[in-house]
Amino acid sequence: MIIANGAAYGDENLFNALRLAIAVKEQAATIEMKIFLMSDAVVAGLDNQKPIDGYNLKQMLEILLAQQVEIKLCKTCTDARGISELLLIKGVSIGTLVELAQWTLVANKVLTF
């Protein structure tokens, strides 16, 4: 499980978390992986992103979704940023702290960024 907090395009923390997630799935495709985005990282789950140059987080999330990675955004964090009702990338959903706690309890490893 990966928990990411970094701003979508403000620094490279979220980018690096997703890079690692993709690399792990490439090396161990059958591994079950879950990603929970919190704080400013929740913005990455919005559809209709059009980054000018550099990396594309939407594209990275779609790669992971295609590899059966479950991706959730923190409800408290999306509410605080006023984005809970906005269109999300297909396959990304809003989750709760209770779900994050459940994921954490059953995870073999938890990485935070």
Q: Considering the chain, what is the average pLDDT of its residues? A: 96
pTM higher than the cut 0.75: yes
Domain count of the fold of the chain: 1
Asked if 38 and 77 count as a contact pair (C-beta separation under 8 A), the reply is yes
Full residue range of the structural domain in which residue 9 is found:
2-112
Tell me the per-residue pLDDT of 27-37, one tens digit each, with 9 for 90 and over.
999 999 999 99
User: How high is the pLDDT of residue 58?
Assistant: 96
| β-strand partners of 30 | none
CATH number of the domain enclosing 40: 3.40.1260.10
**Would you state the structure tokens that stand for residue 2, as one six-digit string?**
């990966």
Q: Residue 33's pLDDT is what?
A: 98
pLDDT of 95 reads 98
Bridge-based pairing state of the strands 2-4 and 70-74? unpaired
Q: What is the reported pLDDT for 52?
A: 80
**Residue ranges in the chain whose pLDDT is less than 50:** none
